[in-house]
Structure 1
């Protein structure tokens, strides 16, 4: 299990699913109002991830950690930046993943199948796994490219 915990606002549901795939405890609901996100983050020591600048400003005034996502950033950019800032491991392992639907912990059933301990949804390592791995390769590559540019420009 990964130690960092997040709460993601309604505009970033796809990102919430990716963080769960990576094994991070990530709360998400498209019904959370800003005050609720702030309250949950404060009570459970979660990083807020949002596209809402106002929410981020209010979070920082309360000394809560907030990561602002810009509308111009795609999933690869966001994952790379989160990885760099919060030391997120961009390697997916279904043995440590969480349920993309409810955030529950997955339990291994057999060599290629996992089941959510909370909602019962089943997961398997099918052809979609290649897409997951390719996305994460691109995000890791983006980090390396940015580091290479930073070194060559100094």
Structure 2
């Protein structure tokens, strides 16, 4: 049975069993095992892995292990280019709402089962967001992010640090309930769907084709704008300028 020496990036050691959290691990595996199998058996999901080196050269997670192999495992780093959509597991409803608020296409349903999440992620090229390590090890999930925090705002900041969310944000362009795009709605067409007092004070409206709700820039919108400015670490006028492009 091959013996493998692994060195883990400090950002990954919290996944390892307590006795291995120094980052250096000696492991034994069958000759049929791949690097993915060995690393995930130690607790690290493949979604959290970046560059892997085997005996000093860049290696694929699908490579078979060999005896006395030395492996270095780096953590996944920022994503370059445009972000695909997200799919959040059943425990991340608060984060899903914040992501939609910032304009990120995010699937969420608190009845999603793990197999359904994996299939949706595979079929629509989405990044899976979860605090479930075993879900992120699913072979059909190509990309995912494990979230260490439990508070939605801290989760958002954690995701921003890893993926650079603020570079891609399009605030107030998606429905918080459905996740579908919002469309401008003329005041005349909104008149039958909003209270008369609202129509007298506001001229800008938008609507969602899914839930048919109508939105306007009232006090609740202003509070959300301030919250989002804090999350994206920008001034509120910058949020408004992105909204009105």
For the criterion TM > 0.5, the same-fold answer is yes
Aligned length: 136
Which of 171, 175, 179 lines up with 1:103 in the alignment?
Answer: 179
CA RMSD of aligned residues (A): 2.3
Kindly state the Cα deviation for residue 92 of structure 1 after the two structures are TM-superposed.
5.6
Q: Structure 2 unaligned runs (5+)?
A: 1-81, 187-202, 234-245
Q: Point out the structure with the larger helix share.
A: 1
TM-score (norm: length of structure 2): 0.50
Task: Give the match for residue 82 of structure 1.
Answer: 159
Question: 4+ residue stretches of structure 1 with deviation over 6 A?
Answer: none
Change (3 A) 1:118 1:98: same
Q: CA deviation at 1:62?
A: 4.0
Measure the CA separation in 1 of the matches of 2:156 and 2:214.
Answer: 25
The residue number in structure 2 matching 1:124 is: 216
Greater C-alpha Rg? 2
Q: Is the contact between residue 76 and residue 135 of structure 1 (CA under 8 Å) also seen in structure 2?
A: no
The structural deviation recorded for 1:104 is 1.4
Q: TM-score w.r.t. structure 1 length?
A: 0.76
Q: 1:124 to 1:92 in 2, by over 3 A?
A: farther
Query: Is the 2:166–2:232 Cα contact (8 Å) retained in structure 1?
Result: no
Partner of 2:15: none
Task: Work out which structure has the larger RCO, using CA pairs closer than 8 Å and 6 or more positions apart in sequence.
Answer: 1
Give the 3-state SS of the residue equivalent to 1:32 in structure 2.
Answer: coil
Contact 1:92 1:133 in 2 (8 A): no
